[in-house]
């Protein structure tokens, strides 16, 4: 009986030892500035820490003025910034390693960036629609039917963009440098003023009815398509994650454009401004559409390359933004 008791106790001790939680190892990392490799200090983190954890440690212990979104962490002086979700183990960062810290400058959230970019053109255009004396001098006439339709289309587009920013978009990047906000806003706001000035001018000549009808129908279809794609992309990514999946069409007919291009939201966006140009027969609107197509093509080609690189089974027949072309 005593032998059985001893064996039982020994067995339990072995089980306890096997289930003993693994010990976390503490890393000491040296943080240096990218400016001249000047030492900033040292931090202690465990071996399962992520780059985000390193940023938090730096913010709490070394640099109170550098909140995590303002930091860029690199393993080499001129290397690439490390992703927040990457772990030290996956990056082969060991005890005593040196990491380089770059100050990205004051940051602003992407949600606020989008709100500023889209709210501005809405107010600027509607201000010009009232034919203020500052733009046209003293006026007694009011904009015609086509100019009023154009104002409604413009307002619908940018009101949609504001609402999408608030309730639809999920941002994979939290912030961008504050200095870029002025560049981005200048692009949208000044183009809004440029286009609105011509369409709402007392000497503006409206196009034929067929142009108005074709432009209005095409603009409406593209706006619905753009919204549909944004909602599909939102549902593709679970809340609070950076999960990436291959976007595919769903039951919404507007999503069928995914069979031909990687970024149909950009395709529909260009379509909206192309049809707006037909609706108004306004050269500045056409310039805005072409410039927008160029910039969106750059973005779309980058995303298209990333999709093909990340997913080995990515559909081979897709183009980036223009079906069968680009």
Digit-coded pLDDT (tens) for 231-253: 999 988 777 666 788 999 999 99
Q: What is the DSSP string of 183-200?
A: HHHHHHHHHHHHHHHHHT
Q: Find out whether 115 and 162 touch, Cβ atoms under 8 Å.
A: yes
**pLDDT value of position 240:** 66
The sheet that has 98-103: what strands, in order across it? Answer: 39-46, 26-33, 98-103, 71-74
Exposure class string for 137-161: b at 16+ Cβ within 10 A, else e = eeeeeebeebbebbbebbeebbebb
**pLDDT value of position 5:** 52
Three-state DSSP state, 219: helix
**pLDDT value of position 6:** 52
Residues of the chain under the 50 pLDDT cut: 1, 3, 7, 10-11, 13, 15-17, 19-22
> Within 13 Å and on the Cβ side, how many CA atoms surround 146?
25
**pLDDT value of position 2:** 54
Helix count (H) and strand count (E) of the chain?
9, 6
- The model's pLDDT over 163-216, given as tens digits with 9 standing for 90+, comes to 999 999 887 777 889 989 999 999 999 999 999 999 999 999 999 999 999 999
Three-state secondary structure readout of 54-87: HHHHHHHHCCCCCCHHHEEEECCCCCCCCCCCCE
Look at domain 26-105 and name its CATH class: alpha beta
Long-range contact set of residues 87-95: C-beta below 8 Å, sequence gap at least 24: 87/48, 87/49, 87/50, 87/51, 88/27, 88/45, 88/47, 88/48, 88/49, 88/50, 88/51, 88/54, 89/47, 89/48, 91/51, 93/27, 93/29, 94/27, 95/25, 95/26, 95/27, 95/28
SS3 content of the chain, % helix, strand, coil (to 5): 55, 10, 35
Distance (Å, whole) CA 193 – CA 196: 5
Distance (Å, whole) CA 207 – CA 216: 12
> Within 13 Å and on the Cβ side, how many CA atoms surround 156?
18
**pLDDT value of position 12:** 54
Which part of the chain has CATH 3.10.20.90?
A: 26-105
> Within 13 Å and on the Cβ side, how many CA atoms surround 32?
17
Exposure class string for 260-290: b at 16+ Cβ within 10 A, else e = bbbbbbbbbbbbbbbbbbbbbbbebbbebbe
The pTM (predicted TM-score) of the whole model is: 0.83
């Amino acid at each position: 009986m005593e032998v059985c008791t001893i064996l039982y106790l020994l067995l339990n001790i072995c089980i306890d030892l096997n289930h003993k939680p693994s010990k976390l190892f503490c890393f000491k990392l040296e943080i240096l500035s990218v400016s001249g490799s000047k030492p900033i200090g040292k931090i202690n983190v465990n071996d399962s820490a992520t780059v985000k954890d390193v940023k938090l440690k730096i913010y709490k212990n070394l640099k109170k003025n550098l909140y995590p979104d303002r930091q860029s962490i690199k393993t080499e002086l001129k290397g690439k910034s490390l992703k927040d979700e990457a772990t030290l183990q996956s990056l082969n960062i060991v005890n005593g390693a040196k990491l380089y810290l770059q100050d990205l400058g004051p940051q602003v959230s992407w949600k606020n960036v989008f709100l500023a970019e889209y709210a501005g053109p809405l107010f600027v255009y509607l201000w010009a629609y009232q034919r203020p004396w500052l733009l046209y001098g003293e006026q007694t006439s009011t904009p015609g039917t086509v100019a009023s339709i154009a104002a409604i289309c413009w307002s619908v587009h940018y009101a949609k963009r504001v609402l999408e920013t608030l309730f639809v978009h999920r941002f994979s990047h939290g912030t961008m440098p504050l200095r870029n906000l002025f560049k981005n806003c200048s692009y949208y706001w000044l183009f809004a003023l440029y286009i609105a000035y011509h369409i709402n001018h007392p000497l503006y000549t409206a196009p034929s009815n067929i142009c108005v009808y074709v432009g209005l129908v095409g603009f409406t279809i593209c706006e619905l398509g753009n919204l549909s794609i944004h909602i599909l992309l939102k549902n593709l990514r679970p809340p609070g994650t950076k999960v990436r999946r291959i976007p595919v069409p769903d039951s919404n007919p507007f999503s069928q454009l995914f069979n031909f291009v990687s970024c149909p939201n950009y395709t529909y966006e260009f379509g909206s401004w192309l049809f707006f140009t037909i609706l108004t027969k306004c050269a500045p609107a056409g310039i805005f559409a072409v410039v927008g197509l160029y910039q969106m093509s750059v973005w779309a080609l980058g995303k298209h390359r990333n999709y093909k690189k990340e997913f080995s089974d990515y559909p081979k027949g897709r183009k980036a933004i223009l079906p069968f072309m680009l």
